[in-house]
């Protein structure tokens, strides 16, 4: 499918004026294995050479479920100067930012310092990737904004990294991954929410990562597709935990963004939480309001990968249930399941909703002009 998208882009005249959009999920990559070394103490450079990253999974390189294509990325996204997909700013500008008139691009670096068992190394790598985002990307293209990557399993060092970056306009959110050692509502993660709330930054939870748990409650599945589809179930469990542990009640200004896990599941999860909470609320007295209210007020969703009904207009029901003001358009560039901005919404959307979906909601959430 990505090959077709490339053809459609090349067919478009560079002079065509497109409506400005926000792309709330862009994945910048390192061009070389050692590109972060200038931002790392010698100790950690040495550590990486000898011991590697020691993640919450068995493979020293790459994921245990082989992706469907190299780096899970579009085959047309290799930069002409070499390096993996997503590693060249100039090619990202040419392939993504310029032709789609991306006014705001939110960077979500993956394979960084998250999901690593050595929490000191995790913190060092996260700090390094944050410096790298400024040097290589946001300082060179004002359309791009960075996410503060934090060592997700150590709430205290994560909070310190957030406080260090707070107020720096290069950053617009804190980034967590969805697969963690424990459900995200657990107390070990609260310092992250507290620091983010203080800094006025949303916390994005991007699908993927490693936390040592099987991606099903029945153990490890066999296939990449099960992991891919499973990210939405994983995200639902994380969101349920955030609600039921009272995180939204305790941090009422906290805003969470569910990134790259779909959104079609959101109404059903909220209904189920409400119905079950009516029965079992005496177990969780700290959850003072129906769960759907916290979700409606404090949670946003990026759109890619959009659920794809047979009758595409069925998606409007789901969006109406969630609220048109809560979706943030994203392409997931340069990954293979990229959503093409001009094709992603079925016909029949009002101008107001279209503008909110593609740009307005993101600008409001991330506080960009």
Task: Provide the minimum distance between the beta carbon of 81 and another protein in the complex, in angstroms, as a whole number.
Answer: 29
Sheet with 21-26, strands from edge to edge, namely 21-26, 102-107, 144-149, 171-177, 203-206, 256-259, 299-302, 327-328
Interacting positions 117-156 with another protein (CB under 8 A): none
Q: Verify binding: residue 237, another protein, rule CB under 8 A.
A: yes
Q: Which is nearer to another protein, 187 or 253 (CB)?
A: 187
- Nearest CA-CA partner of 333 in 15, 21, 24, 19: 24
Altogether, the residues listed in the chain come to a count of: 369
Q: Which is nearer to another protein, 221 or 360 (CB)?
A: 221
- Nearest CA-CA partner of 109 in 53, 176, 61: 176
Q: Verify binding: residue 4, another protein, rule CB under 8 A.
A: no
Q: Which of 238, 254, 256, 327 binds another protein (CB under 8 A)?
A: 238
Q: Is 223 exposed, middle or buried (0-12, 13-18, 19+ CB in 10 A)?
A: exposed
Give the single-character DSSP code of 144: E
Q: Which of 43, 75, 139, 220 binds another protein (CB under 8 A)?
A: 220
Task: Provide the minimum distance between the beta carbon of 160 and another protein in the complex, in angstroms, as a whole number.
Answer: 24
Interacting positions 324-343 with another protein (CB under 8 A): 336-337
Interacting positions 270-309 with another protein (CB under 8 A): 271-277, 279-280, 282-284, 305-309
Task: Provide the minimum distance between the beta carbon of 172 and another protein in the complex, in angstroms, as a whole number.
Answer: 25
Q: Is 354 within 8 Å of 341 (Cβ atoms)?
A: no
Stretch that binds another protein, among 12-20, 38-46, 132-140, 264-272 (CB under 8 A): 264-272
Interacting positions 157-186 with another protein (CB under 8 A): 178-186
Non-local (6+) Cβ contacts of 298 within 8 A are: 248, 252, 254, 255, 256
Task: Provide the minimum distance between the beta carbon of 313 and another protein in the complex, in angstroms, as a whole number.
Answer: 11
Place of tokens 């901005």: 341
Task: Provide the minimum distance between the beta carbon of 345 and another protein in the complex, in angstroms, as a whole number.
Answer: 15
Stretch that binds another protein, among 34-42, 139-147, 164-172, 314-322 (CB under 8 A): 314-322
Q: Which of 265, 294, 300, 329 binds another protein (CB under 8 A)?
A: 265
Q: Which of 41, 59, 225, 352 binds another protein (CB under 8 A)?
A: 225
Q: Is 290 within 8 Å of 244 (Cβ atoms)?
A: no
- Nearest CA-CA partner of 129 in 212, 60, 23, 27: 27
Question: Strand, helix or coil at 145?
Answer: strand
Q: Which is nearer to another protein, 37 or 56 (CB)?
A: 56
Non-local (6+) Cβ contacts of 130 within 8 A are: 146, 148, 149, 161, 165, 171
Q: Is 92 within 8 Å of 80 (Cβ atoms)?
A: no
Interacting positions 64-123 with another protein (CB under 8 A): 68
Cα dihedral across residues 134, 130, 172, 340: positive or negative = positive
Angle between helices 291-298 and 224-244 (to 10 degrees): 110
Q: Is 307 within 8 Å of 264 (Cβ atoms)?
A: yes
Binding to another protein by CB under 8 A, coded x per residue (else -) over 200-219, reads: -----------x-xxxxxxx
Q: Which of 55, 97, 196, 228 binds another protein (CB under 8 A)?
A: 228
Task: Provide the minimum distance between the beta carbon of 268 and another protein in the complex, in angstroms, as a whole number.
Answer: 4
Q: Verify binding: residue 13, another protein, rule CB under 8 A.
A: no
Q: Which of 77, 107, 192, 240 binds another protein (CB under 8 A)?
A: 240
User: If you write DSSP's letter for every residue of 109-127 in order, what string do you get?
Assistant: --SSSSSBS-HHHHHHHHH
Task: Provide the minimum distance between the beta carbon of 281 and another protein in the complex, in angstroms, as a whole number.
Answer: 8
Residues touching another protein, count (CB under 8 A): 71
Q: Verify binding: residue 310, another protein, rule CB under 8 A.
A: yes
Q: Which is nearer to another protein, 125 or 243 (CB)?
A: 243
Give the single-character DSSP code of 195: H
Task: Provide the minimum distance between the beta carbon of 118 and another protein in the complex, in angstroms, as a whole number.
Answer: 19
């Amino acid at each position: 499918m990505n090959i077709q998208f490339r053809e459609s882009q090349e067919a478009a005249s560079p002079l065509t004026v497109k409506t400005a959009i926000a792309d709330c999920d862009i994945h910048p990559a390192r061009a070389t294995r050692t590109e972060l070394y200038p931002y790392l103490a010698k100790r950690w450079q040495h550590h990486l050479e000898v011991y590697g990253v020691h993640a919450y999974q068995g493979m020293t390189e790459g994921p245990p479920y082989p992706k469907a294509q190299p780096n899970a990325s579009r085959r047309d996204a290799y930069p002409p100067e070499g390096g993996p997909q997503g590693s060249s700013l100039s090619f990202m500008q040419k392939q993504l930012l310029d032709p789609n008139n991306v006014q705001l691009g939110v960077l979500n670096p993956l394979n960084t310092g998250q999901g690593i068992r050595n929490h000191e190394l995790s913190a060092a790598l996260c700090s390094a990737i944050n410096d790298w985002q400024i040097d290589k990307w946001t300082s060179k293209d004002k359309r791009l904004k960075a996410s503060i990557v934090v060592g997700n399993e150590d709430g205290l060092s994560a909070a310190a990294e957030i406080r260090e970056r707070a107020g720096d306009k290069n950053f617009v959110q804190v980034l967590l991954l969805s697969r963690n050692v424990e459900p995200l509502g657990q107390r070990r993660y609260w310092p992250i929410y507290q620091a983010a709330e203080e800094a006025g930054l949303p916390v994005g939870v991007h699908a993927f990562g490693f936390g040592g748990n099987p991606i099903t409650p029945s153990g490890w599945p066999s296939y990449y597709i099960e992991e891919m589809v499973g990210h939405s179930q994983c995200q639902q469990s994380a969101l349920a935990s955030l609600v039921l542990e009272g995180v939204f009640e305790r941090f009422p200004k906290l805003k969470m963004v569910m990134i790259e896990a779909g959104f079609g599941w959101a109404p059903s999860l909220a209904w189920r939480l409400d119905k079950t909470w009516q029965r079992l609320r005496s177990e969780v007295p700290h959850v003072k309001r129906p769960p759907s209210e916290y979700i409606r007020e404090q949670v946003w969703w990026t759109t890619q990968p959009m659920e794809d009904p047979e009758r595409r207009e069925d998606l409007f029901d789901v969006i109406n249930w969630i609220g048109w003001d809560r979706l943030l358009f994203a392409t997931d560039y340069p990954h293979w399941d990229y959503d093409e901005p001009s094709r992603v919404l079925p016909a029949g959307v009002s101008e107001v909703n279209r503008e909110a979906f593609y740009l307005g909601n993101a600008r409001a959430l991330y506080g960009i002009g």
